[in-house]
Amino acid sequence: MSRIIVVTDSTAILPASEVEGRWVQDVDVVALDVVIDGQSFQDGIDITPTQVAAALRAKATVSTSRPSSAALLGVYRRLSGQGADGIVSIHVSGALSGTVDAARVAARETSIPVEVVDSGSIATGLGHAVASAVAGAERGLELTEVAQVARARAERTSVLFCVDTLEYLRRGGRIGAGQALLGTALAVKPLLALEHGVIELVDRVRTTSRAMHRLEELAVERAEGLPAGVAVHHLDNARGAQSIAERVGRRLGLRDPVPVVEVGAVLGAHAGPGLLGIVVSPR
């Protein structure tokens, strides 16, 4: 049986419930960078979400950068040398990051076949696609089949979120100036979603409390009656996230608590402190 390795990036959060509480052996993670006042840090290695939140509050200059194609090529070549027969490289939405483009460049220079997957997602939305790919590889699926399993899972996944301010998304170029103005000028809390990998407005409410309840309602609509992975994300807003997770769990009748996970440094840099999000990923 061919040995297929799954590669992803540091914006992914792997759902522990689908891999029995462990980070599976055959997953390799490539770090994106966070740059604070000109100093570069590797996401998940030498910077934390808490540090990013503090930098944003201190009005530091914060940006992010994708891994280079050379860095990804180094990963692919190392895995080939370690006995991989093929690689499925699954990454954050190509509309939000150039990581997928860098992976495609690297894939063309690798001696073993590499299938690059644009998940169109982030956080556990990306993580569920990774987990499904790993499960497919363990079942003995062929390389293209493993990639298709990941794509299919990502397409079924919903990512819903709200932020305290749209300014950080605007600065990073993830939304347009007009969208950012809409939130500030009208003093509303926009409810956002990743639709086909792009951030779209799905609703507008007046208060933080209403935004939390609307997030809950949208998540339940997407998950009710389906076997689905559900997770709540936040940046420096654990109390709000835990409240949403408890209510969603009760409404869906879930036996296990809904996981509450703080996003990584790169995602935090674009969303800003106060982020609340829900990922619903039907299996």
The CA–CA distances, whole Å, from 172 to 155, 175, 185 equal: 25, 8, 20
Residue 21 reports pLDDT greater than 50: no
Sorted by sequence, the CB contacts under 8 Å of residue 103 that are 6+ apart come out as 7, 69, 72, 89, 91, 114, 116
Q: Where in the chain is the domain with CATH 3.40.50.10170?
A: 4-32+67-154
Give the mean pLDDT of 207-233: 88
**Averaged confidence pLDDT in the chain:** 87
pLDDT of residue 203: 83
Q: Where are the alpha helices (DSSP H) in the chain?
A: 49-57, 69-81, 99-107, 123-138, 143-156, 167-171, 177-185, 208-223, 238-252, 265-271
- Residues in a beta bridge with 262: 234
CB 126 within 8 A of CB 158: no
From 39-43, 145-149, 222-226, the region with the lowest mean pLDDT: 222-226
Q: Where in the chain is the domain with CATH 3.30.1180.10?
A: 158-282
225 falls in which pLDDT band (50, 70, 90)? confident
The full DSSP string for 147-210 is HHHHHHHHHH-EEEEE-S-SHHHHHTTSS-HHHHHHHHHTT-EEEEEEETTEEEEEEEESSHHH
Residue 17 reports pLDDT greater than 50: yes
**Class for domain 158-282, per CATH?**
alpha beta
Residue 234 reports pLDDT greater than 70: yes
The CA–CA distances, whole Å, from 250 to 18, 152, 255 equal: 20, 28, 9
171 falls in which pLDDT band (50, 70, 90)? low
pLDDT of residue 181: 43
**Class for domain 4-32+67-154, per CATH?**
alpha beta
Enter the tokens of residue 32.
Answer: 């994106």
CB 245 within 8 A of CB 256: no
Give the residue among 25, 179, 244, 132 at the shortest CA–CA distance from 261: 244
What type of residue sits at position 244?
I
Rounded-to-integer distance, Cα 4 and Cα 13, Å: 20
